[in-house]
Amino acid sequence: MRVSLSFLGTGAPDVGLDDMSAVAFRASSSLLLLDSGEGVQHKLVRVGVGLNKLGSVLITHLHSDHVVGLIPLVQTRTLMFKSLRPLSIYGPPGLEKFLSESFNSLYFDPGNAIEIQELREHEEVRLGELTIKAEPLDHTVITLGYSISVDRGFSLCYLTDTRPTARDGLRCSILIHDSTFSWVDLEKAVEFKHTTALEAGIIASKVGAKLLFLYHISSRYRDRGFLESEARRFHPHTYAAEKYTYVNLSL
């Protein structure tokens, strides 16, 4: 089985940057979108992922840099591909209200083109060969991380935005983790409930990750290699994700 990741945005919000949170994850016949930041639909097209191929979207929380790209994505997909199976959208409580009010304000009715399911902490859903589990995170609003398990033992964990938290027994082959701040800015990380790169390295070691991708990185760090060095004190196989970073694995 082949597994791939396309990072469509890896930064924290900043004026003028087109780098909001979104990752396309493909495993066999399943194609998921993790978060849906601004401009995500044109980024999917740029990396060769047609909107007609997208099956599910997993939203972590309702801060704008993680969800506003979902509205135009759904509208375009609905208008262009009327006969497609519904797009499944998963996320925390409040997701259905957000989408309903947004579409009502835009005088657009997606009808049965989408299916929305709000998840509780620790709830599992099955998507083809994948098992998705909602992981509780510690942010300023209700936020879910996701562990995605493939039948052959591979697991991807997507944990952003959050203070360091990982439940006992969580195992991840690949970890994508909030690394908004450097350890030197720990006070800001605590204040805004984000994680430092150093803390992400500790978590990656704890969950047994083979690869750690630093994610949701503040634009204050022009040299992301500095954050890699910080995390590698605890996890040597660490990489700061960049927009359009592509990872291809064979399981």
Q: Which of 14, 19, 35, 65 is catalytic?
A: 65
Residue 55's pLDDT is what?
Answer: 94
Report the CATH number that the domain containing residue 74 is assigned in CATH.
3.60.15.10
Region 116-135 average pLDDT: 95
- Spell 84-120 as b/e; 16+ CB within 10 A means b: eeebbbbbbeebeebbeebbeeeeeebeebbebebbe
d(CA 119, CA 85): 21
Helix (H, G, I), strand (E, B) or coil at 61: coil
* pLDDT over 90 at 96, yes or no: yes
* pLDDT over 80 at 83, yes or no: no
d(CA 112, CA 102): 16
* pLDDT over 90 at 102, yes or no: yes
Query: Are 38 and 73 in contact, with CB atoms under 8 Å apart?
Result: no
Average pLDDT, the chain: 95
* pLDDT over 90 at 19, yes or no: yes
Q: 248 pLDDT band (50/70/90 cuts)?
A: very high
pLDDT digit string, tens, across residues 145-195: 999 999 778 999 999 999 998 778 899 999 999 999 999 999 999 999 999
Residue 243's pLDDT is what?
Answer: 96
Reply yes or no on whether 65 is catalytic. Answer: yes
Dihedrals φ, ψ of 229, to 5°?
A: -60, -40
Helix (H, G, I), strand (E, B) or coil at 89: strand
Domain that holds residue 197: 2-250
